[in-house]
Amino acid sequence: MKLRLVFLLTTTLFFVSTTYGAEPKETPFPSLISSLRLSSSLTFCGEKVPIEIQNIKERLEKELLLTLWDRPQVILWLKRSSRYLPIIEKMLKENKLPEDLKYVAIAESALRPHVSSQRGAIGFWQFVRQTGITYGLTINEYIDERRNLLASTQAAIRYFEELHQQFRSWTLAAAAYNMGEEGLMAEILEQETDVYYRLYLPMETQRFIFRVISAKLIFCNQEKYGFILSKQDYYQPLEFDRINLNCSQDIPLRVIARAAKTHFKAIKDLNPEIRGHYLTKGGHHILIPKGSAKGFHSRYHNLLKDWVASKKEFVYIVKQGDNLSSIAERFNVPLAALIIWNKLDLKAHIHPGDRLIIYSKEVKNEDTD
């Protein structure tokens, strides 16, 4: 019992001392107190962050501490940065926008293409549906370009350009990006100030700029905050060939993957905007593994011809009394596969005479009986 009490007391003292900045002798990273010693020349997009004002310093310290508390998340930010940030940086530079805007994507999505919010915002730059469409993104049941790094970054650039033109401040532009330009303009008019740090805004937006600045501080001073990564620790840069593909009908991604000498998941990972298992009829720009563009179209046309021919061999004509479950069971195929092959909904109604694709030898045998 005594040993247990001693252990609990020792553990409590350790956490208390660490919390208040008194580090143990061999701590693996700097104390939180030392992490809050900031330079007075801090800027965001070239605009001064007035941390000499106590209230503003306190707001920044809060977000920085909360960010540093989740060290695994920050490590993932850093590791992903080598995959995505060079592309974002290049696009910002080409459009003459401040490089600091890249930290908005980190604060919004942690550089994850599929992340979504309760408001329905999706992707790297967390566009809601209507804003994404307004700035040129294709968003429907087959394609959602909010998940596409190139398309969504270009849309974000267009949006930031308009926001900066309206507010004449990158800090306000970033705040408007978070809460919407109409809401921000209403608050500016009502509160009679256009200084972000003096505005009383929705709590998320009051914190948002400080979260973005916290990301900048960590990225620009990784060792100071105890994040010491070697070159091998970072994820591989995103490398790809870009091809144009004109589909005369809906094409399975597995056909495209084989033409690119890769597998289905590689195509989905490079093109997270593609929803489902098919590329729809029409023109597309898609990414394939780097080096596989050479000879792609020749391989694709041959594979496409084979696939079209095979489809004719595996057609089942729905009969009276059939339903999807009974058909799947009859031909010994997963119901989910039957739905994928025919691009159906689980609740879809089928009728006698409908034609279903079922990749089963039993279908071909039935035709010959």
| pLDDT at 17 (0 to 100) | 45
Give first-to-last CA distance, the chain, whole Å.
81
**CA separation for the pair 305, 325 (Å, rounded):** 30
Q: Which of 61, 351, 350 is nearest to 211 (CA)?
A: 61
φ, ψ (nearest 5 deg) of residue 284: -140, 150
**CA separation for the pair 293, 308 (Å, rounded):** 22
pTM attached to this predicted model: 0.81
Residue 360 has pLDDT above 90, yes or no: no
| pLDDT at 364 (0 to 100) | 62
Element (H, E) at 247: strand 240-247
The chain-wide mean pLDDT, for the chain, equals 88
pLDDT tier, 16 (very low <50, low <70, confident <90, very high otherwise): very low
Residues 6+ apart with CB under 8 A from 150: 87, 91
* Average pLDDT of span 102-125: 95
CB 155 within 8 A of CB 136: yes
Residue 80 has pLDDT above 60, yes or no: yes
| pLDDT at 39 (0 to 100) | 73
CB 274 within 8 A of CB 143: yes
DSSP state of 262: S
| pLDDT at 308 (0 to 100) | 86
Measured CA to CA in angstroms, residue 142 lies from 109, 119, 186, 356 at distances of 22, 21, 37, 21
**CA separation for the pair 369, 367 (Å, rounded):** 6
Residue 5 has pLDDT above 60, yes or no: no
| pLDDT at 132 (0 to 100) | 97
- Show the domains of the chain with their CATH numbers: 39-233 (1.10.530.10), 240-312 (no CATH), 314-368 (3.10.350.10)
**CA separation for the pair 43, 41 (Å, rounded):** 6
Q: Is 180 exposed, middle or buried (0-12, 13-18, 19+ CB in 10 A)?
A: middle
Residue 367 has pLDDT above 70, yes or no: no
Residue 340 has pLDDT above 80, yes or no: yes
pLDDT digits (tens, 9 = 90+) for 170-198: 999 999 999 999 999 999 999 999 999 99
Cα dihedral 205→211→212→218 (10° resolution): 170
pLDDT tier, 349 (very low <50, low <70, confident <90, very high otherwise): confident
Is residue 96 classed as helix, strand or coil in its secondary structure? coil
Residue 269 has pLDDT above 60, yes or no: yes
What type of residue sits at position 244?
N
* Average pLDDT of span 157-167: 98
What type of residue sits at position 195?
V
* Average pLDDT of span 253-258: 96
| pLDDT at 104 (0 to 100) | 98
Residue 332 structure tokens? 């010994």
User: Of 71-75, 213-217, 307-311, which gets the smallest average pLDDT?
Assistant: 307-311
DSSP state of 95: T
pLDDT digits (tens, 9 = 90+) for 305-335: 998 888 776 888 888 888 888 888 888 888 8
| pLDDT at 174 (0 to 100) | 98
Q: How many residues are listed for the chain in this entry?
A: 369
Residue 278 structure tokens? 């098919």
pLDDT digits (tens, 9 = 90+) for 229-246: 999 999 999 999 999 999
For every residue of 281-297, DSSP letters joined together read SEEEEEEEETT--TTHH
CB 170 within 8 A of CB 48: no
Measured CA to CA in angstroms, residue 206 lies from 179, 194, 198, 215 at distances of 10, 14, 10, 16
